[in-house]
């Protein structure tokens, strides 16, 4: 804990003064472009991975980067998604999974979660991913961890589409959804390619596509 407290002191003395102008603007409001949904795993730092500054990402984190399907029951994720889309007007939503995900291990072997009843119930939102892989492979084991992790990202994107604010944004072309997979060991980030149904490395074509759209928005 000592290094965490020391970090606060360093932030106040060194980091904040260097970014004082940015923080002065942020003090009066936020205007993020991206809603970034990822796992609560301590090994992931969304701003570090994306090299973004404070105010650029609206970040939601939970075990397994889960998006519960929309229902009449209010929850933290449901409220956060609605606020990001309907109030803040984000134009992109990223669901980012990661390698060696403990939540996905639990989803594969739920019988090992008997002492964690709330975790077990929460990971019920990942069941569609495990069942898809089970059906595809004729069984399910820890050897399918990466495949389940990728499929979970795809299924959470499907859940996102059930949220009214997201559905509206998709219908009018104001929102785009992205599925990512972050490899902790290599630093590589893969993206879900809808046409092929698989995950591919982020290449120049992928980056150029969004760069071109950003330029079109500026010109308009």
Note whether residue 1 is domain-resident: no
Q: What is the value of pTM for the model shown? A: 0.92
Note whether residue 13 is domain-resident: no
pLDDT in tens, the chain (220 residues): 999 999 999 999 999 999 999 999 999 999 999 999 999 999 999 999 999 999 999 999 999 999 999 998 889 999 999 999 999 999 999 999 999 999 999 999 999 999 999 999 999 999 999 999 999 999 999 999 999 999 999 999 999 999 999 999 999 999 999 999 999 999 999 999 988 889 999 987 787 777 545 434 433 3
Note whether residue 2 is domain-resident: no
pLDDT score for 211: 57
Note whether residue 10 is domain-resident: no
Q: What's 147's domain CATH number? A: 3.40.1050.10
pLDDT per residue over 44-98, tens digit each? Answer: 999 999 999 999 999 999 999 999 999 988 899 999 999 999 999 999 999 999 9
pLDDT score for 203: 80
**109-112 long-range Cβ contacts below 8 angstroms, 24+ apart:** 109/142
**142-151 long-range Cβ contacts below 8 angstroms, 24+ apart:** 142/105, 142/108, 142/109, 144/108, 145/100, 145/101, 145/104, 145/105, 145/108, 146/99, 148/104, 148/107, 148/108, 149/97, 149/98, 149/99, 149/101, 149/104, 149/181, 150/97, 150/181, 150/192, 150/199
Note whether residue 193 is domain-resident: yes
Note whether residue 107 is domain-resident: yes
pLDDT score for 218: 34
Contact 156, 127 (CB under 8 A): no
Note whether residue 164 is domain-resident: yes
Q: Which domain holds residue 166?
A: 34-40+49-219
Count structural domains, the chain. 1
pLDDT score for 94: 98
Residue list for the binding site for Zn(2+): 39, 41, 98, 101
Note whether residue 198 is domain-resident: yes
Half-sphere exposure of 53 (CA within 13 A, CB side): 12
pLDDT score for 167: 98
pLDDT score for 204: 79
Residue list for the binding site: 39, 41, 98, 101
pLDDT score for 213: 52
């Amino acid at each position: 804990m000592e290094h965490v407290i020391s970090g606060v002191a360093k932030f106040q003395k060194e980091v904040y003064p260097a970014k004082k102008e940015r923080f002065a603007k942020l003090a009066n409001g936020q205007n993020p472009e991206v809603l970034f949904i990822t796992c609560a795993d301590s090994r992931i730092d969304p701003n570090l991975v994306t090299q973004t500054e404070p105010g650029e990402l609206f970040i939601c984190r939970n075990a397994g980067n889960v998006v519960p399907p929309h229902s009449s029951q209010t929850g933290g994720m449901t409220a956060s998604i609605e606020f990001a889309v309907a109030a803040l007007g984000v134009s992109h939503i990223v669901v980012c999974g990661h390698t060696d995900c403990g939540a996905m291990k639990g989803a594969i072997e739920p019988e090992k979660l008997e002492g964690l009843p709330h975790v077990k119930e929460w990971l019920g939102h990942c069941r569609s991913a495990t069942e898809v892989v089970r059906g595809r492979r004729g069984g399910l084991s820890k050897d399918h961890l990466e495949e389940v992790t990728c499929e979970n990202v795809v299924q959470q994107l499907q859940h996102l589409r059930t949220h009214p604010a997201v559905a509206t944004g998709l219908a009018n072309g104001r929102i785009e959804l992205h599925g990512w997979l972050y490899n902790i060991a290599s630093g590589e980030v893969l993206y879900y390619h809808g046409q092929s149904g698989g995950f591919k490395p982020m290449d120049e074509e992928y980056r150029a596509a969004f760069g071109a759209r950003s330029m079109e928005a500026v010109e308009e």
